[in-house]
Amino acid sequence: MASSLLSRQLTRSLRPNLHLAAPGCRYVSKTAAKPVSEFEYDAPSMKTPVPGPKSKNVGAVNFFCNYEESRGNYLVDADGNRMLDLYTQISSVPIGYNHPALMKAVTNPIHLSAFVNRPALGILPPENFPEKLVESLLSIAPTGMTRVQTMACGSCSNENAYKAMFIWYKVKGNVGLSRRKLRTHMRHPHYIVFLQGPGCPDLSILSFMGGFHGRTLGCLATTHSKVIHKLDIPSFDWPIASFPRLQYPLEEFVRENAQEEARCLEEVEDLIVKWRQKGKPVAGIVVEPIQAEGGDNHASPDFFIKLRNIARKHGCAFHVDEVQTGGGTTGKFWAHEHWGTDDPADIVSFSKKMLTGGYYHKDELVPDKGYRIFNTWMGDPSKNVFLTEVLNVIRRENLLDEVTRSGKVLLQGLYELQAQYPHILSRARGQGTFCAVDARDDVTRDNLLLKTRDKGVLLGGCGDRSIRFRPALVFKEYHAHQFLNIFNDVLSEYK
């Protein structure tokens, strides 16, 4: 196989130790040896513009893919174009395409039953499932959390995390209708009619402008990244606070950014009080450690620690949504680890790179009765088979260190490119390989994405005018340089 995968043109074009030359010249800060990997390609290889003739553009479809031929960091499309993938299926591919460890897992007879017999996990789990969870999800549980609930996807995870917070809030606080009174209602022959009344309290979840937590109706009420997501869909009257808009470079705006974060925190407290007075108390606060869909908006650890304290002070649960930030992409397994606190959250939801949805939670968040958080499948043990392999690969190959290393090269390269093309790029930022840079406007951003794609690198946009980088955890320094070279070419040609 290896011979058919080798394409050395681009590798040869990497000249050693040339620092940033004049604009328009090749960007080569440093070369890095191609990591030895039998199963990956060496470089992009483009045969047609993208989408090519075999990709019919249908609705939102970008192009059709040949997943059989894709390897590691390289996605191959239906026309045989091979692209370095820094978007990875909206950040959901943990260790690249067709990783040998995952190929082996599927064909291992020991796992056959997990693929073929999908159980109703909530009532009839496989006998070894608790041990499997200890080995996989619980081995990477956030600080202070010993429980995990699996779900099918990110939206389901957040929907159920919200429910867990509502139940927790009512059970602890015994707010509104007393439990005894409710039991009386429930015995009433038409008790079901009460379900728009006292049984379904006006509780709320506080979320942030620019936040994204999914697009089912509960999640959508807390999603505020793009208008089109919410348009025409009924929503709840829940409070929305401002998320800090930091100014870059951070070291030049220390005072302004601290003030901005203080302003947002004050607004959070005001909204909690206001919604309590409205009779719609805030049961939980939900926040992303880095607002991803909303434009890669960062805030300081200090902001999150203070926010967590506000939640505690007002008796709200604190839900950190790590659906996009989790799984190692920031150089730590969970982005909230960068805050350096030992009580980061009451609930942490995940999906995407974790291959299964779900959420971790504290003991207090266990519902008072069974079946309150429930659906038919409640996850999928076959995804846990893959996750176990992914975690083995992460540990064996020290991928979090690799992410930190390649993330530094990537971010440093972006700093240099924005210095070189200040009329096009600004606000380079990131943690690990979870990086972003802003284009001067949305049209420029969209053009840059298309031009870079035609040169063999797949990127994604987020927010109004940001480019987001979401490579897999097997993205190495080598790949960062490869991208930076190509991106430099695009920028140097950009009018």
Contact positions with a copy of itself (CB under 8 A) in 321-340: none
Judged by CB under 8 A, which of 124, 180, 251, 340 binds a copy of itself? Answer: 124
Question: Starting from the edge strand earliest in sequence, which strands make up the sheet with 460-462, in order?
Answer: 425-431, 434-439, 466-469, 460-462
Query: What is d(CA 70, CA 83) in angstroms, rounded to the nearest whole number?
Result: 9
352 is catalytic: yes
Query: What is d(CA 317, CA 167) in angstroms, rounded to the nearest whole number?
Result: 11
Using CB under 8 A as the binding rule, the residues of this chain from 388 to 447 that contact a copy of itself are none
Using CB under 8 A as the binding rule, the residues of this chain from 208 to 247 that contact a copy of itself are 209-210, 214-219, 221, 224, 227-228, 230-237, 240
**Tokens 């379900």, residue located:** 195
52-64 burial, b if ≥16 CB within 10 A, otherwise e? beebeeeeeeebb
Give the nearest distance from C-beta 302 to a copy of itself in angstroms: 25
Q: Does 113 participate in binding a copy of itself (rule CB under 8 A)? A: yes
Using CB under 8 A as the binding rule, the residues of this chain from 79 to 98 that contact a copy of itself are 89-90, 92-93, 97-98
Q: Does 355 participate in binding a copy of itself (rule CB under 8 A)? A: yes
The DSSP-derived string for 152-219 is SSHHHHHHHHHHHHHHHHHHHH--SS-HHHHHHHHHSTTGGGGGGTTTS---EEEEETT----SSHHH
304 is catalytic: no
| Catalytic residue (choose from 212, 304, 333, 475) | 212
Q: Does 134 participate in binding a copy of itself (rule CB under 8 A)? A: no
Judged by CB under 8 A, which of 13, 139, 247, 376 binds a copy of itself? Answer: 376
Judged by CB under 8 A, which of 13, 117, 146, 184 binds a copy of itself? Answer: 117
Query: What is d(CA 217, CA 239) in angstroms, rounded to the nearest whole number?
Result: 16
**Amino acid identity at 37:** S
The sign of the dihedral angle between the CA atoms of 54, 57, 59, 61 is: positive
For the chain, the residue count is 495
Identify which range of 136-144, 207-215, 425-433, 443-451 contacts a copy of itself by CB under 8 A: 207-215
Q: Does 148 participate in binding a copy of itself (rule CB under 8 A)? A: no
User: What phi and psi values does residue 261 have, to the nearest 5 degrees?
Assistant: -65, -40
| Catalytic residue (choose from 77, 321, 380, 438) | 321
Give the nearest distance from C-beta 260 to a copy of itself in angstroms: 16
Instruction: Answer for the pair 463, 296: CB distance below 8 angstroms, yes or no.
Output: yes
Q: Does 494 participate in binding a copy of itself (rule CB under 8 A)? A: no
Q: Does 1 participate in binding a copy of itself (rule CB under 8 A)? A: no
64 is catalytic: no
Query: What is d(CA 385, CA 389) in angstroms, rounded to the nearest whole number?
Result: 7
Judged by CB under 8 A, which of 127, 251, 342, 363 binds a copy of itself? Answer: 127
376 is catalytic: yes
Query: What is d(CA 12, CA 61) in angstroms, rounded to the nearest whole number?
Result: 34
Q: Are strands 457-458 and 82-85 parallel, antiparallel or unpaired?
A: parallel
Q: Does 144 participate in binding a copy of itself (rule CB under 8 A)? A: no
Nearer to a copy of itself, 6 or 217 (CB): 217
Instruction: Answer for the pair 417, 484: CB distance below 8 angstroms, yes or no.
Output: yes
Query: What is d(CA 131, CA 129) in angstroms, rounded to the nearest whole number?
Result: 5
Judged by CB under 8 A, which of 203, 241, 246, 387 binds a copy of itself? Answer: 203
Judged by CB under 8 A, which of 374, 392, 412, 455 binds a copy of itself? Answer: 374
Judged by CB under 8 A, which of 28, 137, 145, 152 binds a copy of itself? Answer: 152
Using CB under 8 A as the binding rule, the residues of this chain from 30 to 69 that contact a copy of itself are 54-55, 58-68
Nearer to a copy of itself, 241 or 424 (CB): 241
Name the DSSP letter for residue 364: G
Identify which range of 73-81, 253-261, 391-399, 482-490 contacts a copy of itself by CB under 8 A: 73-81
Q: Does 178 participate in binding a copy of itself (rule CB under 8 A)? A: no
Q: How many residues bind a copy of itself (CB under 8 A)?
A: 107
Give the nearest distance from C-beta 82 to a copy of itself in angstroms: 14
| Catalytic residue (choose from 34, 132, 332, 352) | 352
Residue 65, helix vs strand vs coil: strand
Q: Does 70 participate in binding a copy of itself (rule CB under 8 A)? A: yes
Q: Are strands 457-458 and 357-361 parallel, antiparallel or unpaired?
A: unpaired
Give the nearest distance from C-beta 397 to a copy of itself in angstroms: 18
Nearer to a copy of itself, 23 or 130 (CB): 130
Q: Is the peptide bond before 51 cis (omega within 30 degrees of 0)?
A: yes
Q: Does 120 participate in binding a copy of itself (rule CB under 8 A)? A: yes
Query: What is d(CA 20, CA 488) in angstroms, rounded to the nearest whole number?
Result: 10
Catalytic residues: 212, 321, 352, 376
